[in-house]
Amino acid sequence: MKTINTINGIPLHYARLTNHPYGTRGEQRQFKIDAQFLKTLEAAFEEVFLNCPLGKPEIITTAGILVNKPGMHGHGKAFDIDAIFWKDNSLVTSNFIHQKELYIGIECFLRKHFGIVLNNLYPNHHDHWHIDTSVVVDYNKGSKSETLFVQMSLRYIYEKPVIIDGIWGRQTRSYIEEVFSRLQIATPITTKTNYIKFLDLTGKIAFKLTEDKASPIALLDNLEAVIAQLPATQKQQVTEALNSFLDHGDTASWLTGLATHHDLDAVIDHVTMG
In the prediction, which pLDDT does 219 show? 63
Total structural domains within the chain:
2
Q: How far apart, in whole angstroms, are the C-alpha atoms of residue 274 and residue 268?
A: 10
Residues 157 and 169 in one domain: yes
Tally of CB atoms within 10 A around 241: 11
In the prediction, which pLDDT does 261 show? 54
Dihedral sign for Cα 234, 241, 121, 48, please: negative
Residues 27 and 100 in one domain: yes
Q: How far apart, in whole angstroms, are the C-alpha atoms of residue 26 and residue 63?
A: 11
Backbone angles phi, psi at 42, to 5 degrees: -60, -45
In the prediction, which pLDDT does 212 show? 66
What is 185-251 written as a DSSP string? Answer: --S-TTSHHHHHHHHHHHHHHHHHHHHHT-SHHHHHHHHHHHHHTS-HHHHHHHHHHHHHHHTSHHH
Backbone angles phi, psi at 73, to 5 degrees: -60, -35
- State yes or no: pLDDT of 259 exceeds 60: no
Angstrom CA distances, 132 to 12, 15, 180, 217, stand at 17, 21, 27, 37
Q: Is 44 exposed, middle or buried (0-12, 13-18, 19+ CB in 10 A)?
A: buried
Beta carbons of 206 and 110 less than 8 angstroms apart: no
- For 37-79, write each residue's pLDDT tens digit: 999 999 999 999 999 999 999 999 999 999 988 899 999 999 9
- For 19-36, write each residue's pLDDT tens digit: 999 999 999 999 999 999
Task: Give 218's pLDDT tier (boundaries 50, 70, 90).
Answer: low
Which carries the bigger pLDDT value, residue 234 or residue 176?
176
Residues 72 and 89 in one domain: yes
Residues 247 and 149 in one domain: no
Residues 196 and 224 in one domain: no
In the prediction, which pLDDT does 231 show? 81
Residues 164 and 221 in one domain: no
Residues 89 and 37 in one domain: yes
Q: How far apart, in whole angstroms, are the C-alpha atoms of residue 195 and residue 152?
A: 15
- For 194-203, write each residue's pLDDT tens digit: 999 999 999 9
Q: Which of 31, 137, 40, 9 is nearest to 82 (CA)?
A: 31
Residue 84's domain spans which residues?
2-213+266-273
3-state helix, strand, coil in the chain (%, to 5): 50, 15, 35
Residues 99 and 235 in one domain: no
pLDDT (mean) for 166-173: 97
Residues 105 and 226 in one domain: no
Give the lowest-confidence range in 77-86, 166-175, 224-233, 253-262: 253-262
